[in-house]
Structure formats: structure tokens, C-alpha cells
């Protein structure tokens, strides 16, 4: 194997965000751009010679080309084995599982998650460490720092690897193995959930379902698990073929983007259960006939019912949610007397808590839920969790949700996103909010009195690391909250997210529309941040 050193120059913009480095495909296609970042990662890591690297992506445009480039750089840097998903495909949770199962050194996942794909759209890359989870901030900071001074990367001259046929080949000291992307993951799911019960519930017609793979990575996974293993009719999985441009859509599972599914679920021929996942298979949207389950509620309901699922029958050690996620799961934790942790946005913050067993289940308002089975959020896992719940409780999704609210109260919740805001305006909004923090406590706005106003700072209870400036919180004496933060996953301008919640213990008032029930707080949020005033917009781009 002849290693070549290729001279390069640093790019200034290789700072990973909430979930890896995400840029337009065109940015990644600049000479040496991907190469620099991959070499910066390898330069920042130690002791991987001869070890295994997992490699795969969500199949979006540039996935295959990127994999060929990375194979050569990984070979030149001394890895001993590459485990690559067939066709260059691996869902994010499957990659996490494969890293863990085969005790790999780490993995590179190619995805921009729920962002659109295609030659004019987004691409992304992230590095996951040996526990299967996203690299912690100290690592991503090191990658960025290295990228600022890099002047060469290593590669080898070799023919492109055939990604489509399973099996191993040897190139010098390196073994390259093309693996089935689905089978290890499907086996894991079988070990967590009650597959015989699910199979019986589906074949008897008690559960009818519709899963929208959004032309992204979960198509092959859903076909194998839901159709081949659990016996659902083939038509139960729609948009199952992964496409490089996701059929021109946003592979983002929410009511706006998964509208094909949403239309069916709110029609008079809705199946019992409907769900969707995103580009790389880690997000989920859960619906039932005539009902949408907010991700925050979904997490709380899972926590409350976990003992009905075989893998969690012994109960949960604890739970965690990201700071902007509603406080619904906190109520479940309090009633079960288990700890509930509040972390910054980003799945990586759950890793340590899962590793030391402080938590079993965790989730985020951004359509992510997961458990200690992998170190990523997991879309199909959430789908199977809900199916298992429906089968065990013999209740509809709507009944499960309403009963939960009656028992624990409802945390009425919504999120408003203002996308592609000019960065200086977005920064000024944050500055303006920050400036108000000291004077807000004690102020009265209608029926809301401010109890606290601060900027969320997180201290990891396992490694002691501190993450500052993780979002602005305004809490009220009645438990309501408004949270403001700038997204760390966008690729154009800045996205301002406003998260609003209010607790409603009275079951006769729980069935209100969230936008109506939260109208006063939504108005107050504008008064505080002035996003409409400062951008001239009339309302948010997306509401979830």
C-alpha cells in the first residue's frame, strides 16, 4: 500500500454543529474539503492503528462518492478493518449498534439527517466514538481546531471499492467488509420487543399500520422488520425506496413534511397507527387515527409504560430530556421516583448518562427518542415501542394519550421556527433577550409571573464538563416556560426556535388545540424576542 501525502489548505468553516459538520453538497465538493475534515478527525484521534472503523450513510447525493474518498483516507491512516453498509447505506442507529456490537474503534456516518438532499442541497458527516454515540464536544472541538491548520492529508491510490456485493476483500493490511445494513439491527429489535405478540396483533388485524420512510434510509429497515418479520402488508411501508434527493422532499418526520401520512391518519380510513422517520433513521413521528403525539408526550408515555416492553420490564434507572423538551417526562419520573436529567439539545449529551447506567430512556422535542440499546436516537425502535404498547394495552393511540394526560396532566406544547434569518439579526435577537434576563424575574404578564430567566448551562454529572449558552429560558410561577435558542443544524443563515409550554392538570381542558391554548404565551414570546418585528415576517416557517 503506497501512502500519498496530498498538500491542502485549511477551510475556515469546518466547525461541527449540533450533529456533525453539515454544509451544502457544493461546499463538500470543493477540492480537499471532505478530505481535510476526515484527516482532521483522524489526526485528533489516537491509537486506532489496526482497529475497525464503521462507515455508512443515509444514501443522499454524494454518499457513494464520499465513501470512496473516506475508504482511501482510512486505509492510508492505518485502520485495520472497515465495516461498510451495502450500497454505502447505514441508518444512524444501525451504525451505532454495529460500532458497539463489533467493538469498533468508531464510525463515520454520512448524513445531513432531515435536511433535503440532492446536488444543490445538504450533505453531512459525523464521527461516532467507540460507545456508538456522537463524538463529545471536546472531540468535535479538536477536529475543528485541527482543520484550521491542516496542510496535508493521507490517501492511497486504489480502485473504487464495489459497495454493492457483500463480503470481504484485503487491501494491504486493511480488510474491507461490506455488510448487510439491516440484519444486525433487526436482530437487536427482536431482542427488545415482543415480536410474537406484534406478529399476532398485526396478522389478526388488531393493528393496522402505515410507515412513511420518506424515500430515505429506513425503507429497507422497515420492509425487513415490519413486512418480512412482522407480517404487515407490503403497502404498509410507503416511500420505501431510498433516493439521492429523497424524491425532492424534506425527509423530516413532522406533520408538515410527512403530509402524505398525515392526510391518511386524519382521514376516515386511517389505520390504527402511523409513523415516519427521517433521512438517516434516527427521528420518529408517532400518530394514531385522528391524533398526532408530540415527541415530548411520546417520551413521557414511553417512560410511563416501559415495563410493558420485554427489554425494560425491570423498570428504568432514570430518564433524561433535552432542556427545550416539555416537562411531561419529569412528572412520570417524579411519580416513579426515578431521576430525570435535563441536558442541552443534542443527543451526544445523553451518552455519558447512558454509559454509566444513570438513565435507560431519553428523548428530545425534535422527534428523537431512544434508550440504552444504542447511543443514538432511534426512529424504528420508537415505532416498535409504540406498536408493542398498543398490542399490550389493547388500546388505541388516542386512548393511551388521553389516559396519560388524565393521570399526569398535559404539558401543552409547541415549537415555532423562524428559518434562514440573517445571522446578524438572529444574533441581535439573542443579545436583546440576554440583556433582559436580569430584570425579568418577578415581572407579571397577564396571568404569568416570571419565576426565573437564565441562559442554560449544563454540567455533565459524569465527566464534569461544562457547556454554556445552551438556550435562553424564561420560567413562570405556574410551571409554564418559554425557551429561545438558535439551531445548531441549519446550513443557511440562522434558525430561531421558540419553545412554549403550559401545564394543564384539568382533564376537562386538556383537549384544546395547542396554538389556541398557548396563544397568550406565544404573544409574550414575541414581545420578549421581537422576531417578527425585527425580520418583518408575519409568522413562523414551521410549527411543530
Active site members = 113
Q: What is the C-alpha separation between 353 and 370, in angstroms, rounded?
A: 13
Choose between 282 and 297: whose C-beta lies nearer to Zn ion: 282
Q: Out of 282, 297, 364, 378, which residue is the one contacting Zn ion (CB under 5 A)?
A: 282
**CA nearest neighbour of 408 among 302, 309, 316, 493:** 302
Rounded to a whole number of angstroms, the minimum distance from the CB of residue 334 to ligand G6P is 24
- CA distance from start to end of the chain: 52
Choose between 128 and 366: whose C-beta lies nearer to ligand G6P: 366
Range 252-281, binding Zn ion (CB under 5 A) = 278, 280
Choose between 275 and 517: whose C-beta lies nearer to Zn ion: 275
Does 347 help bind ligand G6P (rule: CB under 6 A)? yes
Considering only the stretches 59-67, 77-85, 238-246, 486-494, report the one whose residues sit in contact with ligand G6P under the rule CB under 6 A.
486-494
Q: What is the C-alpha separation between 354 and 341, in angstroms, rounded?
A: 11
Rounded to a whole number of angstroms, the minimum distance from the CB of residue 384 to Zn ion is 17
- Nine-digit cell string for 220: 429497507
Q: Out of 39, 91, 113, 371, which residue is the one contacting Zn ion (CB under 5 A)?
A: 113
Rounded to a whole number of angstroms, the minimum distance from the CB of residue 64 to ligand G6P is 23
In this structure, are residues 287 and 397 in contact, taking their beta carbons and an 8 Å threshold?
A: yes
Range 358-397, binding ligand G6P (CB under 6 A) = 364, 366, 368
Q: What is the C-alpha separation between 463 and 486, in angstroms, rounded?
A: 26
Does 18 help bind ligand G6P (rule: CB under 6 A)? yes
Rounded to a whole number of angstroms, the minimum distance from the CB of residue 354 to Zn ion is 18
Strand partners of residue 417: 497, 542
Strand partners of residue 371: 361
Site map (CB under 6 A) of ligand G6P, residues 232-271, x = contact: ----------------------------------------
Q: What is the C-alpha separation between 182 and 59, in angstroms, rounded?
A: 14
Contacts of residue 201, defined as CB under 8 A and 6 or more positions apart, other chains included, come to: 207, 387, 390, 391
Rounded to a whole number of angstroms, the minimum distance from the CB of residue 329 to Zn ion is 21
Q: Out of 39, 272, 289, 345, which residue is the one contacting ligand G6P (CB under 6 A)?
A: 345
Rounded to a whole number of angstroms, the minimum distance from the CB of residue 377 to Zn ion is 8
Phi, psi (deg, nearest 5) at residue 276: -145, 160
Q: Out of 487, 507, 510, 535, which residue is the one contacting ligand G6P (CB under 6 A)?
A: 487
> CA 191, 192, 196, 200 torsion: positive or negative?
negative
**330, 352, 523 from 474: Cα distances, Å:** 18, 27, 14
Does 489 help bind Zn ion (rule: CB under 5 A)? no
Q: Considering CB under 6 A, how many residues would be counted as binding ligand G6P?
A: 14
Does 489 help bind ligand G6P (rule: CB under 6 A)? yes
Q: What is the C-alpha separation between 333 and 299, in angstroms, rounded?
A: 11
Strand partners of residue 273: 209, 288
Choose between 278 and 330: whose C-beta lies nearer to Zn ion: 278
Q: Out of 19, 39, 254, 360, which residue is the one contacting ligand G6P (CB under 6 A)?
A: 19
Q: How many C-beta atoms surround the C-beta of residue 40 within 10 A?
A: 25
CA 126 to the chain's CA centroid? 13
Binding at 280: pick from Zn ion, ligand G6P, none (beta carbon under 5-8 Å per type): Zn ion
- Nine-digit cell string for 94: 444501525
Q: Out of 247, 339, 441, 488, which residue is the one contacting ligand G6P (CB under 6 A)?
A: 488
Interface residues with ligand G6P (CB under 6 A) are 18-19, 113, 322, 345-347, 364, 366, 368, 487-489, 497
Interface residues with Zn ion (CB under 5 A) are 113, 278, 280, 282-283
Amino acid at each position: 500500500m503506497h501512502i500519498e501525502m496530498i498538500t491542502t489548505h485549511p477551510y475556515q468553516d469546518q466547525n461541527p454543529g449540533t450533529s456533525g459538520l453539515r454544509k451544502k453538497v457544493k461546499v463538500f465538493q470543493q477540492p480537499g474539503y471532505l478530505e481535510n475534515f476526515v484527516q482532521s478527525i483522524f489526526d485528533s484521534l489516537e491509537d486506532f492503528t489496526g482497529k475497525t472503523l464503521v462507515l455508512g450513510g443515509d444514501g443522499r447525493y454524494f454518499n457513494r462518492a464520499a465513501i470512496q474518498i473516506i475508504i482511501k483516507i482510512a486505509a492510508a491512516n492505518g485502520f485495520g478493518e472497515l465495516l461498510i453498509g451495502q450500497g454505502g447505506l447505514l441508518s444512524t442507529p444501525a451504525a451505532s449498534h454495529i460500532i458497539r456490537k463489533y467493538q469498533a474503534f468508531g464510525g463515520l456516518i454520512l448524513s445531513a439527517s432531515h435536511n433535503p438532499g440532492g446536488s444543490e442541497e445538504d450533505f453531512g458527516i459525523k464521527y461516532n466514538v467507540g460507545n456508538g454515540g456522537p463524538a463529545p464536544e471536546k472531540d468535535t472541538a479538536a477536529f475543528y481546531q485541527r482543520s484550521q491548520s491542516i496542510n496535508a492529508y493521507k490517501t492511497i491510490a486504489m480502485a473504487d471499492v464495489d459497495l454493492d456485493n457483500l463480503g470481504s476483500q484485503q487491501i494491504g493490511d486493511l480488510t474491507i467488509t461490506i455488510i448487510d445494513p439491516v440484519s444486525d439491527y433487526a436482530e437487536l429489535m427482536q431482542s427488545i420487543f415482543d415480536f410474537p405478540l406484534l406478529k399476532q396483533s398485526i396478522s389478526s388485524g388488531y393493528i393496522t399500520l402505515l410507515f412513511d420512510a420518506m424515500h430515505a434510509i429506513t425503507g429497507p429497515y422497515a420492509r425487513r422488520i415490519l413486512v418480512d418479520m412482522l407480517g404487515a402488508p407490503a403497502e404498509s411501508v410507503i416511500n420505501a425506496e431510498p433516493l439521492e434527493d429523497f424524491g425532492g422532499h424534506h425527509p423530516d418526520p413532522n406533520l408538515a413534511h410527512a403530509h402524505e401520512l398525515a392526510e391518511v391518519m386524519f382521514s376516515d380510513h386511517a389505520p390504527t397507527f402511523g409513523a415516519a422517520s427521517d433521512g438517516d433513521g434516527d427521528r420518529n413521528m408517532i400518530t394514531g387515527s385522528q391524533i398526532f403525539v408530540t415527541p415530548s408526550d411520546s417520551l413521557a408515555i414511553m417512560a410511563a409504560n416501559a415495563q410493558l416492553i420485554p427489554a425494560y420490564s425491570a423498570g428504568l434507572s432514570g430518564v433524561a430530556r433535552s432542556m427545550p423538551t416539555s416537562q411531561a417526562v419529569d412528572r412520570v419520573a417524579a411519580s416513579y421516583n426515578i431521576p430525570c436529567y435535563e441536558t442541552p439539545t443534542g443527543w451526544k449529551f445523553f451518552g455519558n448518562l447512558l454509559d454509566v447506567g444513570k438513565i435507560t430512556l431519553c428523548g428530545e422535542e425534535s422527534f428523537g427518542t431512544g434508550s440504552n440499546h444504542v447511543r443514538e436516537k432511534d426512529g424504528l425502535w420508537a415505532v416498535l415501542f409504540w406498536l408493542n404498547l398498543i398490542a399490550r394495552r389493547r388500546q388505541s393511540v388516542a386512548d393511551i394519550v388521553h389516559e396519560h394526560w388524565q393521570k399526569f396532566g398535559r404539558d401543552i406544547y409547541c415549537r415555532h421556527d423562524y428559518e434562514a434569518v440573517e445571522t446578524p439579526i438572529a444574533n441581535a435577537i439573542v443579545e436583546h433577550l440576554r440583556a433582559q434576563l436580569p430584570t425579568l424575574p418577578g415581572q407579571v404578564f397577564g396571568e404569568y409571573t416570571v419565576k426565573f430567566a437564565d441562559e442554560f448551562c449544563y454540567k455533565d454529572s459524569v465527566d464534569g464538563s461544562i457547556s454554556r449558552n445552551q438556550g435562553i429560558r424564561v420560567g413562570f410561577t405556574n410551571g409554564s416556560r418559554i425557551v429561545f435558542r438558535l439551531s445548531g443544524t441549519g446550513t443557511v443563515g440562522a434558525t430561531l426556535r421558540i419553545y412554549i409550554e403550559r401545564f394543564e392538570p384539568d382533564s376537562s381542558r386538556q383537549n384544546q388545540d395547542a396554538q389556541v391554548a398557548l396563544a397568550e404565551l406565544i404573544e409574550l414570546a414575541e414581545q420578549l424576542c421581537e422576531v417578527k418585528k425585527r425580520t418583518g415576517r408575519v409568522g413562523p416557517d414551521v410549527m411543530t
